[in-house]
């Protein structure tokens, strides 16, 4: 029985890397020849950022079954830390004066700055992880909302990063990079980080360690008596999730070139929640799919202006009414369309 | 002495649930704690398995010794790894969304590196409960109550335990399944696994155990070998229906 299984597995060619690299190359080629204009590029960048947001929130809300709705707060931490760093390091500004490093180093250090933003917001994630040892469900949701409010009002009152007026200048780091070689840097980095985020989440959730995170969702007591250190798992899951949100925030800040605290308020967290529930809890491909659909929907509804904020919540209500488990439920795309399995190598449980 | 409980007092908030329990379990024994509802049976098991506060009571006095060492400071997830103690909780607590096989796999969390042990224990579980083998691909919440209980015991075995605590394994089972369950436990005991079983069904429990303790409102009111207890007049009157 086992030998046939191995033979079968050999037939599956892993097309993942080829697909991703091919897609990215085609995308960059199209940008280079000018087929894809600035606007479409921006939409693609937002898709990348939203993919990171939804798939990282899915670790906590989907796989672990806790309810966190303060994801925007961690995005804020990442956005401010990485923007402040890139202004500090790479640009001459009225804020701190002369740049600490030659602006040209941005070309190598830009991803490092984004990742530092992620690391800081991972530690901010502890603020939510520690209360989650004792509380769950609705109470944890309240704590996460509170954390979101804390971050927003903290930054609102921090004069040296602009307070409620917002913070800008990080775009100069991108311009410094473009002075050396003209490349669509932000597009490259958002796509790269989105692909890496999905890749790492997939690896984490497939590992035995990740199975422990899922075990918490199914039954916390059982997980504990099956020797899963639930507290440790929760810390890891919350930190990983909020760290990725921080990375998304850093990218978001550098794409827009301007951030203010109110862009990361509860609305932002709600958007991430909508994406997770649209895609299906505990479904990574669902999160990716819903991030794409949701970003397109937002753009399509742009002419409607303020009416957009009537239609999106309405959409959420209809979603909960008719497909409460989301587009894919807790299945992956390969479970819905089994023929896709031919393209991916799959470990049998 | 494998497990020794010394003067154990536990509280839920302000309410004292156990007023100083003393009992012990020797290696290779089957010991049963019997008692009516609210006697403190589950509280005892929960404090033994060191589950965190909201689920389990707070130990205020006394000590729990396992192999001569106190486990009061041990985290529940370490009990399996370090002490090879496993709990089959009341209400089974299986992972309903997962298949039978996945449930068993998850339980090997602590011993997964030892693939030889994992595959041999899996064979053992399937031979003890052939029903589980038949249904290994089925979602575990679709199993019958008895099969779920078998799965809960199987899962405990997969953790590589030497000491199993069972909380009312007979609950909600048809008599046939109940006897099958106890037969399987007896078989496990012969494979050198020590068993502590908490039961409301005193008759079955005493038929199957070597020794027993009778618990009433947080105190042990009688103890002895199974024969002694089943012939004890008070126990007969209170728990064995005259």
Q: Do B109 and A221 touch (CB under 8 A)?
A: no
pLDDT in tens, A188-234: 899 999 999 999 998 888 887 888 888 888 888 888 888 888 888 88
Q: Is the pLDDT of residue A92 over 90?
A: no
DSSP 8-state code for residue A14: -
pLDDT computed for residue A341 by the predictor: 66
Query: CA–CA separation, A75 vs A242, rounded Å?
Result: 8
Residues 6+ apart with CB under 8 A from B128: B150, B154, B157, B184, B187, B188
Q: Among B42, B46, B51, B76, pick the best mutation site for testing chain A contact (most A Cβ within 10 A).
A: B76
Total domains, chain A: 1
- According to DSSP, the β-strands at B15-25 and B3-12 are antiparallel
* Domain edge (last residue) among B161, B182, B210: B161
Q: Which of A45, A33, A244 is nearest to A125 (CA)?
A: A244
Q: Tell me if B180 is assigned to some domain.
A: no
In a domain, B103, yes or no: yes
pLDDT mean over B106-124 = 85
* Average pLDDT rounded to a whole number, residues B208-216: 90
Q: Does B54 touch chain A (CB under 8 A)?
A: yes
User: Which CATH number fits the domain that encloses residue A183?
Assistant: 1.10.3470
- Give chain B's domain count: 2
pLDDT for B93 equals 86
Q: Is B89 on the interface with A (CB under 8 A)?
A: yes
Answer yes or no: do B136 and B27 share one domain: no
Residue pLDDT, tens place only, A247-264: 999 999 999 999 999 889
Co-location of B2 and B71 in the same domain: yes
Residues B147 and B72 in one domain: no
Which pLDDT band holds residue A16 (cuts at 50, 70, 90)?
confident
CB atoms within 10 A of CB B176: 9
Print the domain residue range for A281.
2-343
Would you place residue B57 in the very low, low, confident or very high pLDDT band (cuts 50, 70, 90)?
confident
The answer to whether B141 contacts chain A (CB < 8 Å) is no
Query: A219 and B94: CB-CB below 8 Å?
Result: yes
**Alpha helix ranges (H) inside chain A:** 2-11, 16-33, 38-57, 71-90, 106-124, 126-129, 137-156, 171-180, 185-206, 208-218, 220-225, 230-256, 266-279, 284-300, 308-322, 333-336
Q: Give mean pLDDT, residues B187-200.
A: 91
More confident residue, B32 or B13: B32
Q: Angle at Cα B222 formed by Cα B219 and Cα B225, nearest 5°?
A: 135
Nearest by CB: A222 against B54, B95, B102: B95
User: Which residues on B lie below 8 Å from A140 (Cβ)?
Assistant: none
Asked whether the ipTM of the predicted complex exceeds the cut of 0.90, the reply is no
Q: What is the mean pLDDT of chain A?
A: 85
Contact flag B94-A222 (C-beta cutoff 8 Å): yes
Q: Do B167 and B130 sit in the same domain of this protein? A: no
Q: Chain A residues with CB inside 8 Å of B96's CB?
A: 218-219
Give the model confidence (pLDDT) of A103-146 as tens digits.
888 888 899 999 999 999 999 999 888 887 777 778 888 999 99
| pLDDT, average across residues A177-189 | 87
Residue range(s) defining the domain that contains residue B227: 1-84+162-173+194-242
What does residue A23 show for φ and ψ, rounded to 5 degrees? -60, -45
Query: What is the rounded average pLDDT of the residues B136-153?
Result: 89
* Interface contact flag, A227 B80, Cβ < 8 Å: yes
Would residue A77 count as lying in a domain?
A: yes
């Amino acid at each position: 029985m086992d030998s046939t299984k191995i033979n079968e597995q050999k037939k599956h060619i892993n097309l993942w890397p080829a697909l991703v690299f091919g897609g990215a190359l085609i995308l960059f080629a199209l940008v280079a020849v000018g087929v894809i204009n600035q606007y479409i590029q921006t939409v693609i960048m937002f898709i990348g950022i939203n993919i990171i947001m939804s798939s990282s929130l899915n670790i906590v809300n989907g796989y672990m079954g806790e309810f966190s709705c303060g994801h925007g707060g961690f995005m804020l931490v990442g956005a401010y830390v990485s923007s402040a760093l890139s202004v500090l390091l790479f640009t001459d500004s009225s804020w701190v004066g002369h740049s600490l490093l030659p602006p040209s180093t941005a070309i190598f250090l830009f991803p490092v700055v984004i990742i530092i933003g992620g690391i800081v917001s991972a530690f901010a994630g502890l603020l939510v992880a520690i209360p989650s040892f004792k509380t769950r469900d609705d109470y944890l949701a309240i704590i996460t909302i509170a954390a979101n409010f804390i971050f927003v009002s903290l930054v609102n009152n921090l004069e040296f990063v602009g307070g409620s007026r917002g913070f800008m200048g990080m775009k100069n780091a991108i311009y410094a990079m473009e002075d050396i070689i003209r490349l669509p840097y932000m597009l490259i980095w958002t796509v790269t980080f989105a692909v890496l985020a999905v890749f790492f989440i997939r690896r984490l959730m497939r590992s035995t360690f990740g199975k422990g995170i899922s075990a918490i969702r199914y039954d916390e007591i059982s997980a504990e008596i099956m020797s899963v250190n639930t507290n440790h798992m929760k810390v890891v899951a919350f930190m990983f999730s909020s760290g990725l949100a921080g990375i998304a925030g850093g990218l978001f800040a550098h794409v827009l070139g301007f951030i203010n605290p109110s862009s990361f308020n509860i609305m932002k967290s709600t958007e991430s929640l909508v994406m997770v529930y649209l895609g299906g809890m505990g479904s990574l491909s669902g999160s990716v799919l819903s991030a794409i659909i949701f970003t397109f929907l937002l753009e399509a509804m742009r002419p409607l202006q303020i009416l957009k904020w009537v239609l999106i919540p309405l959409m959420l209500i209809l979603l909960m009414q008719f497909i409460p488990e989301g587009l894919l439920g807790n299945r992956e795309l390969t479970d819905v369309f089994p023929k896709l399995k031919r393209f991916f190598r799959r470990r049998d449980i | 002495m494998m497990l020794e409980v010394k003067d154990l007092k536990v509280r839920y908030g302000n309410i004292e649930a156990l007023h100083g329990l003393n009992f012990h379990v020797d290696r290779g024994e089957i010991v049963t704690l019997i008692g009516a509802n609210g006697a403190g049976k589950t509280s005892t098991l929960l404090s033994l398995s060191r589950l965190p506060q909201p689920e389990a009571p707070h130990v205020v006095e006394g000590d729990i010794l396992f192999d001569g060492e106190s486990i009061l400071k041990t985290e529940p997830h370490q009990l399996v790894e370090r002490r090879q103690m496993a709990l089959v909780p009341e209400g089974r607590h299986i992972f309903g969304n997962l298949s039978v096989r996945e449930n068993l796999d998850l339980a090997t969390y602590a011993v997964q590196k030892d693939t030889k042990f994992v595959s041999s224990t899996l064979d053992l579980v399937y031979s003890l409960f052939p029903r589980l083998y038949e249904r290994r691909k089925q979602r575990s919440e679709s199993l019958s109550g008895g099969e779920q209980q078998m799965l809960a015991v199987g899962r405990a075995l997969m953790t590589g335990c030497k000491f199993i605590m069972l909380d009312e394994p007979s609950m909600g089972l048809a008599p046939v399944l109940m006897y099958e369950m106890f037969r399987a436990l007896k078989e496990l005991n012969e494979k050198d696994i020590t068993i502590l079983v908490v039961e409301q069904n005193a008759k079955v429990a005493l038929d199957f155990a070597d020794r027993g303790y009778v618990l009433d409102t947080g105190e042990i009111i009688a103890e002895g070998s199974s024969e002694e207890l089943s012939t004890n007049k008070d126990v007969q009157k209170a728990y064995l229906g005259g």
